[in-house]
A and B are shown apart, each in its own frame.
Chain A
Amino acid sequence: MDFDLADFALNYAMKLGAKYADVRLETTKTNEFILKNGVPQMAGFDRVQGLGIRFNSGGCFGFASINILEKEKIKRMIEKAVKVTSKASKIADSTEMSAEKAHEADYGVKQKISLENLSPGDKLNILFEIEKAIAATKVDVPGRFFSMADFYTEKYFVSSEGAKIVSRIPRVDLWHFITINNNGKTAQRYWQYGDAGGFEKIVDKNFPELLKKEVLTTDKMLRKGVKPPKDKIDIVVGPQVTGIMVHESVGHPYEADRVLGREAAQAGETFIAQDMLNTRIGSNAVNIFDDPTLEESFGYYLYDDDGVKARPRHLIKNGIINEFLHNRSTAAAMKTKSNGASRATAFDREAIVRMANTYVQPGEQTQEELIEGVRYGIFMNNFMEWNIDDKRLNAKYTGAEAYIIQNGQIMEPVFAPVIEISTPALWSAVDAVANNMEYHSGTCGKAEPMQAIPVWFGGPSMRIRNIKLGNKT
């Protein structure tokens, strides 16, 4: 990358009168593969480069991006953007940024098996191995859809305050979607796996074995699943369910830009208000973090897209709302400091407040001990359908793999139990968290144009006491 172009763009914006500017110059190499019902689809092979510049002109923030890296075109693009932004300042939110240290840094993630050194055939072979493993189960799986992608992003961030940060982050991602058939009745299951690192992250997971288990389990649920109980029961949820719950009902509502209404027309707002900081939202057992610095995580970074040094954020501390996710703008609006949650998916998207890796802190007990403490209930290990309202107050999670618990023992499968619950009720009803920590990956959507960003979400199994299941349809 020609770092001088980023410096050039920055200097030109300042020359035009910006009181602040930053530039992200970025190159991303992507390889994508799809195997659908045993047939490889078109492979994607992309090399994307461009720069995005953010500036404050007349009290209003503007953002502009270009993929034609020629100085004259960059100048014209900045001139046009500054003109519109200066005019917009007449009705603009008089945005400020929190004062933060300007860092210089150069960091990256190492690959044990380099993405560059493998041929497309080598990569696609993993998906063919999954096909073979599924065929060996003898289960009728008419729908088998697998996609795998690897990305390598090199980014240079430079700001008018003196920040200069270079990062090099490889990521891999594998997504599966299977349909099981039993006499014309079907069940479906999908999941995504993503990490920062090289191809070892794909190899180490042993996807053929993992998908074999998914097929056998989904088939069992379809053939043997009984109807869910209707009375109030206790529920133990597995790490995947804990993960989606923490992402949807804690991570999102604690994004400070939602609290301030900036995403109201898109991803929505939140039932959380600024004055709810330091108030109780859950039981003492609940401790929730969001941590971008987890090594080799899907949401990994050490400096955010405002140039702020990342750190773990303790969102809920012993059931008390402890902090929100901030970028420099929301931090200034709430008269606090940024905690490094500013992210953009690519050079051509504005940086906004995002999660990184959100999780429930594990406890001391085993999952088995949590289950032993249930007289009658269900164990929901994972899920298929889910959603939550745009205030993040009412959520639904429909189980995929689930079982009846009776007298502390796992019993027969239960088909598609529904948890339909409000956020405060959920976190107040958690009485114990286990020690079986797992991180799972997702691609989180927010902003307009949409920014689908890699994150982890996770935690251990959790026990939720005295809950009535929802009705399916």
Chain B
Amino acid sequence: MEKATIAKSLLDKFVKAGAGDVIISMVSEDASQIKFANSKIATTQSWAAEKAEVFVEVKKRLVSTTIRDLSEKAVYDAIQRIMKFANASTPNEDYRGIADGPFKYKEIPETYDSKIVQLADRSVDMTEEAINAAAENGAARAAGVLESSVSSRYILTTNNAEAEDKATRAYFSIRAFADKNASGHKVCNSRILSKFKPAEAAESAAETAKLAANPANGAEGKYDVLFEPLPFSNLLQQLGEAASIFNVESHLSCLAGKLGKRVAAESVTVSDNGTLANGFNSTKFDAEGVPTQKNTLIQDGVLKTYLHNTSTARKHNTKTTANAGLVSPAAFNIVLDKGKLNKEEIISNMKKGLIVTNVWYTRFQNYDTGDFSTIPRDGMFYVENGKIAGAVKELRISDNLLGIMRNVAAIGSEQEHVFGWEVELPVITPPVLVKDVHLTKSVA
């Protein structure tokens, strides 16, 4: 059966069984991965999945579920179980409904490429080329993954939204090691094959690794820090998550109560853009079927909006930003506008400071205030009088997220698209210089 037919049939059956608002999303995905370590392939992985994601509202009782077996009997049984479950649940008095369609949708450039669909075992060759590129540029060994996927989503709602989108994605992550203590990490991702450059990422990771050799122990203190795109994406991801009204209400956000207020330096403009050409998470519609859009979250340092779905927007007397998430509105692609100086120019203007090429394990002591710490990983470099003076290790950034955003002193002119193990929300950012970042270290 066609997915539109299945979705219509499911929707009608839920309504007949007593449901109010219903959203059916028919999803399919085929994905594969090559995982490598010590410059050898450790395993291949492949996944095939088809499912119907279902949202059901019964008198403000909200249930989400997934139906995988679409045979007539299985669907009948599933509907009986889900409606029984919904009827025995408790109403959500905050619920204000889903969006009223129909909508018109625009095609987003560079989000589907048949060459990625046909990649197949060519991914082995691409992995080998990247491993070799790392070795040729000084890496003693390299580890990472190369992934590709093709997926489709068809959505149908009781409120007349109906749409279909298909997507391809390619993702590569490589960590190159010059020795045990000298490493560099780079990711690349693209929706189309012609802009997917694993070997270039491998070269860059190896260059960082080579430069990171013989690191000295870093000293605690305040530093001007140039964050490369990979680590600054980690921080912008936190900011993107903090912009969700669900997290604001849950006290999981340092942006609560700050609409219209300064939350970053004047040079900082951050948007979420679900319609970005070649954006890793770009999609024609959100989880309610509302056409996605670009939302400016921070304009010239001032917080302009939170991210909403229809229900949260109605509760807060505003309009949906087309960021459903039915439980929690969520960003698609966070974008930091670029500045004027290139990376070399920023470094040449630094008197004393650090270059951080990656961070990991970001954790908050208090989400309300933004107090957090995160740990530089891979190459970290000490800068003196505009030049790299050597590699350093074993420091921790212990600071405040809003403080860091307010202390942004320079934004680079070249953006990179980042998505990876630590940055699951795609971020497009240039390198960013931040003044007076507090770094700590083990005291024993």
**A residues near B, CB below 8 A?**
31, 34, 36-37, 39-50, 60-68, 73, 77, 80-81, 83-85, 87-93, 95, 119-121, 124, 128, 142-143, 145, 177, 179, 186-188, 260-266, 268-269, 348, 350, 384-390, 393-396, 398, 416, 418, 420-422, 425-426, 429, 448-450, 467-473
Q: How far is it, in angstroms, between the C-alpha of A352 and the C-alpha of B128 when the chains are bound?
A: 23
Can you list 16 pairs linking A and B with CB atoms under 8 Å apart? Answer: A31-B85, A43-B86, A45-B63, A50-B68, A67-B50, A84-B34, A93-B38, A128-B90, A188-B368, A262-B38, A268-B360, A269-B180, A350-B45, A385-B372, A396-B373, A398-B365
**B residues near A, CB below 8 A?**
32-35, 37-38, 40-51, 55, 61-66, 68-69, 78, 81-82, 85-86, 88-94, 120-121, 123-124, 127-128, 131, 141, 143-145, 173-175, 177, 180, 185, 220, 246, 249-252, 326-327, 360-369, 371-375, 377, 394, 396, 398-400, 421, 424, 438, 440-444
B360 near A390 (CB under 8 angstroms)? yes
A80 near B46 (CB under 8 angstroms)? yes
**Whole-angstrom distance from the CB of B42 to the nearest CB of chain A?**
6
Closest to A393 in B: B394
B55 near A143 (CB under 8 angstroms)? no
B40 near A68 (CB under 8 angstroms)? no
Q: How far is it, in angstroms, between the C-alpha of A215 and the C-alpha of B65 when the chains are bound?
A: 33
Residues of A within 8 A of B394 (CB): 389, 393-394
A121 near B43 (CB under 8 angstroms)? no
Closest to B183 in A: A264
**Whole-angstrom distance from the CB of A292 to the nearest CB of chain B?**
23
Closest to A329 in B: B42
**Whole-angstrom distance from the CB of A180 to the nearest CB of chain B?**
10
A43 near B63 (CB under 8 angstroms)? yes
Residues of A within 8 A of B327 (CB): 34, 41-42
Residue of B123, B368, B375, B424 near A84 (CB, 8 A) is B123
Residue of B35, B185, B326 near A448 (CB, 8 A) is B35
A387 near B361 (CB under 8 angstroms)? yes
Q: How far is it, in angstroms, between the C-alpha of A85 and the C-alpha of B375 when the chains are bound?
A: 36
A37 near B90 (CB under 8 angstroms)? no
Q: How far is it, in angstroms, between the C-alpha of A120 and the C-alpha of B372 when the chains are bound?
A: 36
A261 near B368 (CB under 8 angstroms)? no
A44 near B444 (CB under 8 angstroms)? no
Q: How far is it, in angstroms, between the C-alpha of A88 and the C-alpha of B46 when the chains are bound?
A: 13
Q: How far is it, in angstroms, between the C-alpha of A142 and the C-alpha of B368 when the chains are bound?
A: 11
Residue of A145, A187, A350 near B43 (CB, 8 A) is A350
B249 near A36 (CB under 8 angstroms)? yes
Known: A67-B51, A398-B365, A416-B365. A425 touches B249 (CB 8 A): no
Residue of B41, B65, B89 near A40 (CB, 8 A) is B89
Cβ-Cβ contact count across A and B, 8 Å cutoff? 284
Known: A143-B250, A448-B145, A467-B444. A389 touches B85 (CB 8 A): no
Q: How far is it, in angstroms, between the C-alpha of A81 and the C-alpha of B46 when the chains are bound?
A: 6
Residues of B within 8 A of A39 (CB): 92-94
B369 near A84 (CB under 8 angstroms)? no
Residues of A within 8 A of B86 (CB): 43
A67 near B363 (CB under 8 angstroms)? no
Residue of A36, A42, A266, A471 near B64 (CB, 8 A) is A42
B37 near A387 (CB under 8 angstroms)? no
**Whole-angstrom distance from the CB of A283 to the nearest CB of chain B?**
14
Q: How far is it, in angstroms, between the C-alpha of A370 and the C-alpha of B109 when the chains are bound?
A: 65
In the complex, besides A420-B440, A472-B398, 14 extra interface pairs with C-beta distance below 8 angstroms are A40-B90, A64-B46, A64-B47, A81-B46, A84-B32, A121-B89, A263-B143, A384-B364, A385-B371, A390-B360, A394-B396, A395-B442, A416-B365, A467-B443
Q: How far is it, in angstroms, between the C-alpha of A120 and the C-alpha of B91 when the chains are bound?
A: 12
B141 near A261 (CB under 8 angstroms)? yes
Known: A46-B66, A95-B42, A420-B441. A65 touches B48 (CB 8 A): yes
Residues of B within 8 A of A450 (CB): 421, 424
Known: A43-B89, A67-B51, A186-B251. A91 touches B128 (CB 8 A): yes
**Whole-angstrom distance from the CB of A418 to the nearest CB of chain B?**
8
A42 near B326 (CB under 8 angstroms)? yes
A88 near B440 (CB under 8 angstroms)? no
Residue of B33, B40, B377, B396 near A390 (CB, 8 A) is B377
A473 near B438 (CB under 8 angstroms)? yes
Closest to A49 in B: B68
Residues of A within 8 A of B396 (CB): 387, 389, 394, 396, 420
Residues of B within 8 A of A473 (CB): 371, 398-400, 438
A385 near B443 (CB under 8 angstroms)? no
Q: How far is it, in angstroms, between the C-alpha of A261 and the C-alpha of B141 when the chains are bound?
A: 10
B375 near A44 (CB under 8 angstroms)? no
Q: How far is it, in angstroms, between the C-alpha of A299 and the C-alpha of B394 when the chains are bound?
A: 32
Known: A64-B47, A83-B121. A394 touches B251 (CB 8 A): no
Which one of A128, A266, A468 has the highest number of Cβ atoms from chain B below 10 Å of its Cβ?
A266
